Amino acid sequence: MKRFLPIIIFLILIPIAMYAGYNRTAKNPDPNHTHADFAVWINGTKLDFSQKKYMQDIPTDEEEQMLEHSTGTGSGPDYFKRYMHLHDGNGDVLHRHKPGLGFGDFLTSLHFTLTPTCLTTDTGEKTCDTADKKWQLFVNGKEIVPFNDNYIFDDGNTILLTYGADSAEVQREESLMTHDACRYSQTCPGRGKAPTESCISDPTVPCKQ
């Protein structure tokens, strides 16, 4: 039995080492370019952000020139879309190119409006708190209380914004969250590389490839 002990230990250590390698973390090489997985649900239905209208396309030459000469601050959709956006057909991972901006700012970039009690979509559909149904915000599975309509998220967070969900529905929605932000931030190399991005940002906060 003793002579087989090293073999047994070796066979036990192999899956442990593989698991550790798969889940090891690395440092994001570009702290200005961070990502988060997100989802928005209303009454048990997930909003589809993979539609082309929500994507940030490669800018035209004219748009590129406008960005190059654009400085200062703002608060409208066009301003925030320079720094926070979706692209490459992925409607589950948001990209932020400027630290300090929140989830509400991201929704603004998509022509949504989030307040502490209501969400208005880009088509004008408004959903507000009632006596029976409320908006809730969960980050990494933990509810943010009190509700924060512009939560400043960290790189790699999972953000669930949901309306009218009981605990069982919240659990279901959490189970369907994607976990791909770390791949775009290059912080979970064991999971492989994310698709090559179209790196778009304001020239004052450039992307690092």
Q: For residue range 44-89, list pLDDT tens digits in order.
A: 999 999 999 999 865 544 444 444 444 445 678 888 888 898 988 8
* Closest to 158 in 3D by CA, of 50, 54, 39: 39
Average pLDDT over residues 188-206: 70
Task: Give the count of beta carbons closer than 10 Å to the beta carbon of residue 193.
Answer: 9
The per-residue pLDDT for 148 is: 97
- What is the average per-residue pLDDT within 24-42? 87
| CA distance linking residue 72 with residue 69, whole number of Å | 10
User: Which residue has better confidence, 101 or 19?
Assistant: 101
- In this prediction the pTM is 0.79
Phi, psi (deg, nearest 5) at residue 41: -125, 140
pLDDT at 152: 97
